[in-house]
Structure 1
Amino acid sequence: MSHKRIPKRKAAIAVGGVAALGAAALLLPNANASQDEKAADAAPRTLRANDASDLAAQVRGLLGDAFAGSYYDSGSRQLVVNVAGGDDNATLRAEQAGAVVRQVDNSTAELTSAARTLRTEATIPGTSWAVDPRTNRILVTADSTVTGANWDRLESTVQGLGSGMATIKKSAGTFKTFVSGGDAIFSQVQGGAVRCSLGFNVTASDGSPAFLTAGHCGVAAETWSDSETGQPIATVDQATFPGEGDFSLVTYDDATTQAPSEVNVGDGQSVQIGQAAEATVGQAVLRMGSTTGLNDGTVTGLDATVNFQSETDPSGVDTVTGLIQTDVCAEPGDSGGPLFTQDGSALGLTSGGSGDCTSGGETFFQPVTTALQATGATLGAGDAGAGDQNGAGDQAGGDGVGGAADPSASAEDPSGAGDQAGGDQAGAGDQSGTGDQSGNGDQSGNGTGDQSGSGAHSGASRSRTH
């Protein structure tokens, strides 16, 4: 079978060399500093979100067990750090580093334990949970399918966590994977066609050109084309879904394929991508997908667990952990597309959610840094190791902080700037999916995600040697 080289226009979603996130220097007091000098050092710093992510990682090290999450306040352009416990010395060090410190009731250990209880007792199709550091609680979301006994079970589990530990919100839509999807990629499978979005171009560990997309896309089909009726140009090397992530590494069949370090945002415009970074709660983000184009929004949670309803087993669940939660809209066809920032940080790959780009909703993304670590790939031309691509950040027990762009841009003007304050996001419009896609494996309650235009397919993951 002959293969064609993917045109530069079709490989427009990509990532190049990785640059380290800007360091936020700790302002530790000198041994002989006066109290006035210490007070001056403790003034909160005005930061870009990228710098806030690095500062958050440093402050977490200073606080240890007292650290209870952090988020970026884009209005004041400051990092807010939660502290549980009364260690005044640790608090002072965090303030001297430049963070705004606030005392909270729930520690990271307590929130992590509560999340484990939810996983054990409330893994119900159509539910998700993630720690919201702004409220210092776990935000539990239930979609429109969670009713009757399942709703009672979820509500009882949340109440059992104790007062002030978690809140429940209802979503009008249904949690589904958004298959169908920057630039569209296609595959023909038994029963129809599968359509997803290319995420970021990378270099595989053996030096071959490749790209990242959603794991449920890689499970759905083994070979992919850049046109609906074209010959395959790329083959799935690794795919993870469901379980600990939703990502695929797909290698180009032509070893000379050119993969520019940019996201194609339409109308002849692109955003150059220079680094991979962790997401930050409260940061402004952009998402590109072949169905809905460019859209913007805010990160609302980290290390989210999502329980997608199985499409082949009425009682089955596809549980995916470690995702980024946002209020960015998405629709079928956007799966695998890139989540990124205006200043060129690659953050995530579109996984799924509820709602659409008319009524809104919540959308979940696979962190790029995790996918790079797991696959051994490097961004773009691969001039930095996978380990060097992880932006400084924090992610523990459903909460964390990482690098992000400061300004937000609209779909009409990707170069526009402006801060976007983070806030809780729940509620979603109804989203209909098409086709049927199943996955199974060793994950708890595994079933399927919804695959647009696809036939039934079995297999939780696929790995291919070079």
Structure 2
Amino acid sequence: MKHRRISKRRAVIAGAGVVALVGAGVTLQTANASEEAPGFTVKALSATAAGSLASDLVEDLGAGTAGAYYDADSKTLVVNVLDEAAAQGVREAGGKARIVQNSLVELKSARETLSDKATIPGTSWAVDPVTNKIRVTADRTVDSAEWAKLSGVVKSLGSKAVLKRTAGEFKPFVAGGDAIHTGGGRCSLGFNVVKDGEPHFITAGHCGEAGSQWSDQQGGAPVGEMVDSQFPGNDFALVKYTAETGHPSEVNLYNGSAQQIAQAGEATVGMQVTRSGSTTQVHDGEVTGLNATVNYGNGDIVEGLIQTTVCAEPGDSGGSLFAGDTAIGLTSGGSGDCTSGGETFFQPVPEALAAFGAEIG
């Protein structure tokens, strides 16, 4: 494998509390009421810097915040808040404050209702901080009876959720960076990492089971063994290198060059991201939702995913999602393809690293 890549998750926001912050969508009650308050300067930020600021604000303001997202056009962080006191704190830190209606607690309750009453194969739901709603999506396999059931549950949530249909079918992208092979299957390497001082790489959990052997060539000698795999629930796996081979901390850009990866970070709604995979190579898109739950069918439900507009196809599974030198996510699944487009979901990298006790390297 010549090049290795790394994935990343929403904009860089560290910690579970921040994920909740950025992930929780908030409705636009008084959308622009406090974005341009006199006497305060809104800072122009990179997506990564906006993620760091969001992390600091959620720690300082706690329950007063209700989600955040990155406005790529103005290069600013927009923070949803529940009252004027929290809005003041956001302004003082250089962000845009927006007073909204739905709290994180209310949105979490809405997600729990969906889990309890609408666990239907071919559906997903994710928090959208731009609209302050839970965005519920049904794929083409959801029949009329299931659609009616789903519609009823969403309607019962009032302004906290919205339902839409997608033309594709949600499924893991089984069979992408560089290709990795096991038996008759193919996936993509996500990022090279270090665990206990030894070189490993991470990929999607649905690609294989612990103990499986992996090669960088179809039918080639093994270069690694999968030591841990988590799917469903999560979708990440750890492979330990067992042969002498290069393992640079970079992502293959399929143009003769590579993107160096220096760190892992959280995704933020509005963040521009890039995916590399062995089937469709390199494609760009935007983060549209956080903390997404996807029901792939057959009991395969994965939670805590990043939702994006980046296309992907079978074989891209496990591949890198990144923003500059920051690893964001690992390709899980979605609908559509790179001809017609679609929706895709990614396992956040920071969560995988924490579970394995590994780091980018």
Equivalent residues in 2 for 1:129-140 (5 A)? 129-140=125-136
Which residue number corresponds to residue 180 of structure 2?
185
Which structure 2 segments of 5+ residues have no match? 7-11, 15-36
Q: Distance in 2 between matches of 1:267 and 1:62?
A: 44
3-state SS of paired residue (1:296) = strand
Q: Distance in 1 between matches of 2:85 and 2:162?
A: 32
Confirm or deny that 1:377 pairs with 2:361. no
Contact 2:5 2:320 in 1 (8 A): no
Confirm or deny that 1:318 pairs with 2:306. no
Which residue number corresponds to residue 17 of structure 2?
none
- Of residues 151, 155, 171, the one that matches 1:155 is 151
For these two proteins, the number of residue pairs brought into alignment is: 334
Equivalent residues in 2 for 1:91-170 (5 A)? 91-162=87-158, 164-170=159-165
Contact 2:13 2:265 in 1 (8 A): no
- Of residues 53, 62, 65, the one that matches 1:64 is 62
Confirm or deny that 1:90 pairs with 2:86. yes
3-state SS of paired residue (1:45) = coil
TM-score, normalising length: structure 1: 0.70
Confirm or deny that 1:202 pairs with 2:193. yes
3-state SS of paired residue (1:210) = strand
3-state SS of paired residue (1:60) = helix
| Residue 62 (structure 1) shift | 3.1
Q: 1:377 to 1:47 in 2, by over 3 A?
A: same
- Of residues 169, 180, 183, the one that matches 1:174 is 169
Confirm or deny that 1:362 pairs with 2:358. no
- Residues 147-203 of structure 1 deviation map (CA, whole Å, 9 limit, x = unaligned): 1221111111111112x1110111101000001231001111xxxx11000110111
Contact 1:62 1:90 in 2 (8 A): no
- Of residues 13, 16, 21, the one that matches 2:4 is 13
Confirm or deny that 1:285 pairs with 2:273. yes
Which residue number corresponds to residue 316 of structure 2?
334
3-state SS of paired residue (1:309) = coil
Contact 1:322 1:366 in 2 (8 A): yes
Q: Distance in 1 between matches of 2:85 and 2:142?
A: 46
| Residue 283 (structure 1) shift | 0.6
Contact 1:350 1:365 in 2 (8 A): yes
Bigger Cα Rg: 1
- Of residues 329, 345, 351, the one that matches 2:326 is 345
| Residue 138 (structure 1) shift | 0.5
Which residue number corresponds to residue 304 of structure 1?
292
RMSD value, Cα: 1.7
Q: Distance in 1 between matches of 2:87 and 2:322?
A: 32
Confirm or deny that 1:252 pairs with 2:241. yes
Q: Distance in 2 between matches of 1:358 and 1:349?
A: 21
Give 1:299's aligned amino acid.
V
Contact 1:11 1:201 in 2 (8 A): no
Q: Distance in 2 between matches of 1:278 and 1:225?
A: 30
